Amino acid sequence: MHNASEMKSPSVSATAVTIELNAVLVALTANEPQVLTLEDGGLLPSGPFESEHPTLQSGLRAWVEQQTHHPLGYVEQLYTFADRNRAQENGRRIVSISYLGLTRERLSRGVRDPEWRNWYRYFPWEDWRAGPSPLIAKEILPRLRKWSDAAGDPALKRERRQRIDINFGDGKDHWNEELVLQRYELLYELGLVPEASSRAGSVSSPLPGMPMRHDHRRILATGIARLRAKIKYRPVVFELMPDTFTLLQLQRAIEALAGRTLHKQNFRRLIDQQGLVEETGALTSQSAGRPAKLYRFRREVMLERAVGGSKLPLSRPA
């Protein structure tokens, strides 16, 4: 029984840690995905969790809103980890809890430090809107192939080749836009990003793409990956859209996040099948081309659609 009680609650002597909250705050400006950064783009906003906050999320909201003077919309937890490479002055371990936040407005516009940056500056190879990223074929794949060819064991070589294939495809097609994190981790492992420089081999001329301090670029990758996955089964894009918008604007928004172009007609078919939006009655006036209808998000569907498509071949209720 003593064992059990040891398991059930931390002993008083349990290690004390400090909680750090990190935020990947996303907005869309001019059809470009933006993320809020600090210190010349080198850090994600982060702050301590103080015990007066009732929950972690409220703690996060508190300092984000205090810093940005703007309400924060949708928030979801990303991941928690204990950074083994960081400790505090007082020796306490730091545990980082990261969040993804979506917001409609550009916050603190023009201000120098909290600054919005296009997330593709950090991950240039993730933008396929103009076709397969040339960076992959020209810079990345050659180095990855060198790595897989360097494997002695044929089995290991096959494994490495497979891993490259899954993550980066053949440079042309078979691109899975959700693997943002895995791709970053592969590049990190091979020392192809500056953040990896403290480890083993030196960085052999790092790839294009801005680094961040600590593991903030990894956290950003996690956030992008999560968002790219989520837009497929939850109407979260609307958190980033203005109240009314045209279908093309909506399409461009999703394309910006996914880093891929969509088939216009099929996209429209999908949208109205899902009943996600309704016409406002108004039309766009300015700009070239035929005026488009304006739509608004049907907030009701947040309740209607439980989604969660089953890929399981269910049987009849009998």
Partner DNA sequence: ACCTATATGCTCAATCGGAGTATTAATTAT
Partner DNA sequence: ATAATTAATACTCCGATTGAGCATATAGGT
Binder of residue 166, out of DNA, a second copy, none (CB less than 5 to 8 A by kind): a second copy
Helix axes 216-230 and 180-189, enclosed angle (nearest 10)? 150
Shortest spacing between CB 111 and a second copy, in angstroms: 10
DSSP 185-196: HHHHHTT-SGGG
Our CB check for DNA shows the closer of 7 and 312 to be 312
Nearest residue (CB) to a second copy, 66 versus 205: 66
Q: Please state the closest distance from residue 313 (CB atom) to DNA, in A.
A: 4
The entry of DNA, a second copy, none near residue 287 (CB within 5 to 8 angstroms by kind) is: DNA
Closest CB 151 distance from a second copy, rounded Å = 14
Tell me which residues touch DNA (CB under 7 A): 246-248, 263-266, 268-270, 273, 284-285, 287-293, 310-311, 313-316
**Which residue number, 150 or 270, has a Cβ lying nearer to DNA?**
270
In angstroms, the CA 177 to CA 257 distance is 10
Minimal distance in Å, beta carbon 253 to DNA? Answer: 13
Strand pairing of 115-118 and 93-102?
unpaired
Q: Rounded to the nearest whole angstrom, what is the least distance from the CB of residue 203 to a second copy in the complex?
A: 24
Phi-psi region of 31 (alpha: psi -120 to 50; beta: other; left: phi over 0): left
Q: Is 188 left (phi over 0), alpha (psi -120 to 50) or beta?
A: alpha
Minimum distance from residue 158 beta carbon to a second copy (Å): 9
User: Which entry of a second copy, DNA, none binds 74, CB below 5 to 8 A by partner kind?
Assistant: none
- State how far the Cα of 183 lies from the Cα of 141, in Å rounded to an integer: 12
Contacts (Cβ under 8 Å, ≥6 apart) of 144: 164, 168, 186, 190
Q: Which does 209 bind (CB under 5 to 8 A by kind): a second copy, DNA, none?
A: none
CB closer to DNA, 272 vs 300? 272
- Tell me the Cα Rg of the chain: 22
Using the minimum distance from each CB to a second copy, give the nearer residue, 115 or 283: 115
Asked if 168 and 183 touch (Cβ cutoff 8 Å), the reply is: yes
- Report the residue count for the chain: 318
Whichever of 174 and 264 has its CB closer to DNA, that residue is 264
